[in-house]
Amino acid sequence: MAKKILIIDDEADVMKMVVYRLKAKGYEIMTASSGKEGIDITRTNKPDLILLDYRLPDVEPGEVSKTIRKQENIKNIPIILITASVDHIKEKAKECLANDFIPKPIEPKILYEKIEKYI
């Protein structure tokens, strides 16, 4: 059974590229373009991993991951933060309760390595 990855990002170009690359590797992909939608999908579909954009239009940075971490049945899902704002990225990931981070633009090799580390 294919591992499920949820991508939460409001940038269509980024989403399209990541979906294409991960489907080619055999992952089942779910997508959300807002924080609220991402939380709802996580609650109902329990992905094996979440790729989460740091800045989303409907929530403050970190709120999606903090909301997920507060819920017993989904709190242990690995979350990898993706962001173009690389200043203090390690601190941002820690503050957001994310397991790791990937800077934008996303390098495919780094994407695959990080996902394989947590799935």
The pLDDT tens digits for 88-114 are 778 888 888 999 999 989 999 999 999
pLDDT above 80: residue 87: no
Tens digit of each residue's pLDDT (9 = 90 or more) over 16-53: 999 999 999 999 999 999 999 999 999 999 999 999 99
Which residue has better confidence, 47 or 60?
47
Taking each helix axis from N to C end, the angle separating 12-24 and 108-118, rounded to the nearest 10 degrees, works out to 60
Q: How many domains does the chain have?
A: 1
Bond prior to 108 in cis (omega within 30° of 0)? no
DSSP 55-84: -BTTB-TTHHHHHHHTSTTTTTS-EEEEES
Q: Would you state the structure tokens that stand for residue 13, as one six-digit string? A: 């170009």
CA distances from 53 to 2, 59, 79, 82, 118 (A): 23, 11, 10, 5, 17
The reported pTM is 0.95
Residue 43 belongs to domain spanning: 4-118
> What pLDDT sits at residue 8?
97
- How many other β-carbons are positioned within 10 Å of the β-carbon of residue 91? 9
The pLDDT of residue 76 is above 80: yes
Q: Is the pLDDT of residue 6 over 80?
A: yes
**Higher pLDDT, residue 77 or 1:** 77
- For position 13, which CATH number holds? 3.40.50.2300
